[in-house]
Structure 1
Amino acid sequence: MDSGHSLTAGIIIFTSQRTKHEDRLSMLTDDILLSILGRVDTATATRTSVLSKRWRDLPWLLPVLNLRVWNFLPHPCPEPIAAHHMDQAMSRLTKATRSFLADPNSKSTIIKRLSLQLYVTGDYTREIGPLARDAIDCGVVKKLCLAIVDEKDPRDCEHEYMLQQALAVDGFFTAYPSVFQCLTKLRLYNVRFAEWDMQHLLFDSCKQLNQLSLSHCDVGDSSVWQINAPDSKLRILEVRMSCLKRIEVLCLPKLKHLCWDEWFCFEAPLRFGSVPSLKGLGLICGATIDHQEFSLSQVLHGTRNIHALTLDFEGERLWIQPEGKQLCHAFKQLRKLSICGIFVDFDLLWTINLLEAAPSIEIFSVRIWDHACQDDEQLRTRTGYEAQRTKPSWSMPKFTSSETWQLRELEIVGFRPQELQISFLRSVMERASNLKMVLLKEDKEPCDACDSMNTPRGGFCPADKGEQEAIVKQLTDGVGSSARIIFPKSGGS
């Protein structure tokens, strides 16, 4: 149980035993009580108003208000979420929104940030919209984080359905333009802006927007989304499961982090123009048979300050072309490199090309993919993944940087005592004179389906002291490295 659920459970216990605990509660100051309430969902916070006289008005004094429809769904909620459960949740959310935002002129507390998550179903937004608008117009709400969510599986979303979602989103913004004034974070699902100006809506209108998350959103199948917003304050852009052919970031001067999780086009998904502040980039995709390898150096052309780079192949073949010195310019500021989803039978020595291209890297993390539950060949053939797990072959002239590596921490998550991994570790330890620490971890996110099977393909991460000492001996014999080799008990990164 995480800390949030523990705190919620504790408050519920207080609720059921309020006579016993009322004296203890009365000893706490208002700021402490508000701090406690600020860590639980709104549904739980409002329930505390019956605890005692001290608690009666406290939920309405919260400076940060989280009104999320998911908190009003039944627990546990069956999958998929039924339409009547969504309707009930929106009804409860509307009631909660009314209780917090009705008559905003009478409120003495400023809401520094309102997080509002809703479904565009029924007529509920016609009541929630005016409540949010009035609270914004009178200055009660200073910042708004809005998530318009949808429970339909992206694979089941037809063109007309996504257009309908876009119509609902556009209708909400058109009806309540005050939202634009303080909208700092926006999250959308299953929206196709084919008939709307995506640039105008997301950048020209949302002038305060600093974080944008788009899940299965686009402007049409295999379309190109060009972003040219020199005045935008956007700092974080997250794209997931998009049918866009490519995103061309022509100008986003404040953008600091971009992550694209799963693209369906079969070529390089990104191009950069002016992104002087971009420091973090994440590319995540399990390549099918149709995906083409692309040049990472060309994708990164236009960037100059990348500090953290994550490439996740989700257990499939590599979708980047073999490169070495071509990456030097783009990698010159790189401090942390994470290579994830490397199939357990793949060689890792090819990654040394990346380290040679970026001697400035201080932390290098590798996450191994070992999922026997996904080895069904018939399933892989039907889904376009057949014959994908070809071992990396980076046949290219030997490339060795003349600069000293700054690498101080090397991590393998999902470590297995295989020759492939041992050979890779020894090679890095020999080359990295500044290496201080080698972390060999079990994956902290085990798969339930894999757990029910036999021993993983690569064996288990050594657990007892004898096995660990044997691995340390294998790694250090004949290698001039003073790096500590650690097997963290907590696992995972």
Structure 2
Amino acid sequence: MKNKNGRPRKSALNEAAAGNKNGRRRRNLNATQKATRNEAAASNANDDRLSKLPNDLLLNILERVDTLDAIRACILSRQMLKLPTMLSRFYLSVSSIPGLQAKPPRAVTLKEVLGINSALSHVTDNILSTRSPEVTISKLKIRFVLLPDDSLAIGRSVARAMATQKLGAAEFEIVTKKRYNLCSSIDFLNFAKQFNDLVGACPHAFAGLTSLWLENMRFGELDIPNILSTCKLLEYLRLTHCDSGIHSVLQVEHTQLVELEIDQGKFQRVELICLPKLQRLTYNNWFSCEDPMYFGFVPQLSKLSLIKTATRSDKSLKLSQLLANVPSVGDLRLDFGSEKIWVLPECPKLLRPVLSKLQHVNLDHLPEGCDLAWTMFILEAAPSLKELCITVWDHWCIMVKDKEFREKYGYCEKADVKWKPYAPDFKHKNLAKLTIYGFQPDDNFMRYVRCVVEHAINITEISLSDRKGCRRCGDLDPSRYPRTAGERKQTADELGLASGVVVHFRS
């Protein structure tokens, strides 16, 4: 419709405008719907690609994560619902408590611990009772809290699985409802009693275990030997804050044990009486002021790690005496906790018989500022040594800093360990690599590198790295590590090494 001037009336214009708007809305709506359909199609395509993966590949993926997470993933896909019964590797852990995996973790209440532990026992029973007995369980690892009812249910479920199914490696990690620093002496005794009761109620489950990790338990004198005699197939044993009483003696005998770790026990002495298959041993912070270990029949022991934060009263060890019966050690790690050096340099004539097969040495957490020359006694006494790695680091997170506390409990101030070569012109023919963490271009480090190269005539590689990083404590003293190309070239030139030696700077 037009007015007298021949122009369209306003109502017609409004209708046309409304029509245009509606047209735009329809076009926008169509575009949105099309985009939504495309996204849905892409999502379906992705779902289809996942569901089309072969079962063996899906199982390989699922077996790399916590089993509870794998089950949750399978519930979301109809195609994957049957996969949990086909898994061959299981890892069921109380660490799946909501909050423990948060960053930073929040405080978890005892009620939550009890709830998740109970759920864990039910899930364990359901998984092991519903799976096909024809599929071998290559590995079953369960980490649970030592609570009588739940622990008993888990133990019985595993025992039935061992009796009715093909089961390879079976592992228990048993934690207590209280952390070590909150435990009383009564708690340690009660936790040990609860564990002994569990072993007595489920002997078949423990008879089939290949790995066991315990914490916060104080056993009777014969308890640990009895546990070892029950766990006949045990290959790995770790005891954290476990002992048989203060200043007790632990005697270990086992035909299958391959690896043993002892953390923070109050043993006066650990005696390895007869362990014909033992290959790896770690002892962390022994309680005794005397030699912490006796090595009996351990013919295959090849890797030894000793860790100690020592005070003035702690005895300095003589490796020639400590390792007199174990000349088979090829890999040795000594960790000093950034405090006192607790090993004595010795005459190579005494040491060479016990270090003759030594090929790899790690000296960790050497205190900063101390002369490094003393470490050369190992090079002088170990003719087969191929790699030497030292870490020089005042790690403030693990050090005691309060002066009054240090004085009261005998923590030492930094002091150099004295060493002089018994044969000043000795030559080492097998050392190929020297690695230093915490390198600084000062006289101490530069002199040490030159000393090693002077005696190790066939060394080809030197790796120099900055201090190891720690987000919690940082470095109180600024690092002077060479970072620019110019600084590194200057440091390499000042070392004055032969052209055949390659120096790597790794910041």
Q: Does TM, scored on the shorter chain, surpass 0.5? A: yes
1:460 maps onto 2:480 in alignment:
yes
Aligned pair partner of 2:506 in 461, 485, 488:
488
Q: Aligned partners of 1:146 and 1:468: how far apart in 2? A: 49
Contact 2:213–2:237 (CA<8 Å) still a contact in 1? yes
* 1:483 counterpart letter in structure 2: V
* 2:286 counterpart letter in structure 1: W
Offset of residue 416 of structure 1? 1.5
1:470 maps onto 2:485 in alignment:
no
Offset of residue 124 of structure 1? 1.2
1:221 maps onto 2:241 in alignment:
no
* 1:426 counterpart letter in structure 2: R
Offset of residue 80 of structure 1? 5.7
Distance 1:165 1:107, change over 3 A: same
Contact 2:310–2:411 (CA<8 Å) still a contact in 1? no
| DSSP-derived class of the 2:354 partner | coil
1:342 maps onto 2:372 in alignment:
no
Give 1:404's aligned residue.
428
Contact 1:288–1:388 (CA<8 Å) still a contact in 2? no
Aligned pair partner of 1:62 in 72, 87, 91:
87
Distance 1:160 1:440, change over 3 A: same
1:409-456 Cα shifts (integer Å, max 9, x gaps): 1000121222111110011011111111000012444242225x5x43
1:322-372 Cα shifts (integer Å, max 9, x gaps): 313121111000000111110110111011111000021000000111335
Unaligned runs of 5+ in 2: 1-41
Offset of residue 488 of structure 1? 2.5
Give 1:6's aligned residue.
none
Contact 1:81–1:151 (CA<8 Å) still a contact in 2? no
Aligned pair partner of 1:134 in 160, 175, 198:
160
| DSSP-derived class of the 2:114 partner | helix
Give 1:112's aligned residue.
138
Unaligned runs of 5+ in 1: 1-16
Give 1:14's aligned residue.
none
Q: Aligned partners of 1:400 and 1:228: how far apart in 2? A: 44
Give 2:184's aligned residue.
158
- Aligned pairs for 1:13-52 (under 5 A) are 19=44, 21-52=46-77
| DSSP-derived class of the 1:145 partner | strand
1:359 maps onto 2:383 in alignment:
yes
Once structures 1 and 2 are overlaid, which stretch shifts more, 376-385 or 214-223?
376-385
Q: Aligned partners of 1:384 and 1:432: how far apart in 2? A: 40
Offset of residue 196 of structure 1? 4.0
Give 2:35's aligned residue.
none
Q: Aligned partners of 1:382 and 1:56: how far apart in 2? A: 63
1:193-243 Cα shifts (integer Å, max 9, x gaps): 1254311211x22111111111011111111112234xx111100111111
- Aligned pairs for 1:62-461 (under 5 A) are 62-74=87-99, 75-76=101-102, 78=105, 81-103=108-130, 107-121=133-147, 123-150=149-176, 152-194=178-220, 196-202=222-228, 204-229=229-254, 232-325=255-348, 326-371=350-395, 374=399, 376-378=401-403, 380-381=405-406, 384-394=409-419, 398-399=422-423, 404-451=428-475, 453=476, 455-456=477-478, 459-461=479-481
Contact 1:433–1:481 (CA<8 Å) still a contact in 2? no
Contact 1:18–1:51 (CA<8 Å) still a contact in 2? no
Count matched residues.
462
1:144-173 Cα shifts (integer Å, max 9, x gaps): 111111363434433321111111111111
Higher gyration radius (CA): 2
Sequence identity, in percent?
A: 31
| DSSP-derived class of the 1:310 partner | strand
Offset of residue 375 of structure 1? 6.8
Once structures 1 and 2 are overlaid, which stretch shifts more, 239-248 or 442-451?
442-451
Contact 2:136–2:167 (CA<8 Å) still a contact in 1? yes
Q: Aligned partners of 2:239 and 2:456: how far apart in 1? A: 40
* 1:353 counterpart letter in structure 2: F
1:17-73 Cα shifts (integer Å, max 9, x gaps): 975631111221111111111111112101112232221111221111111111234
* 1:317 counterpart letter in structure 2: K
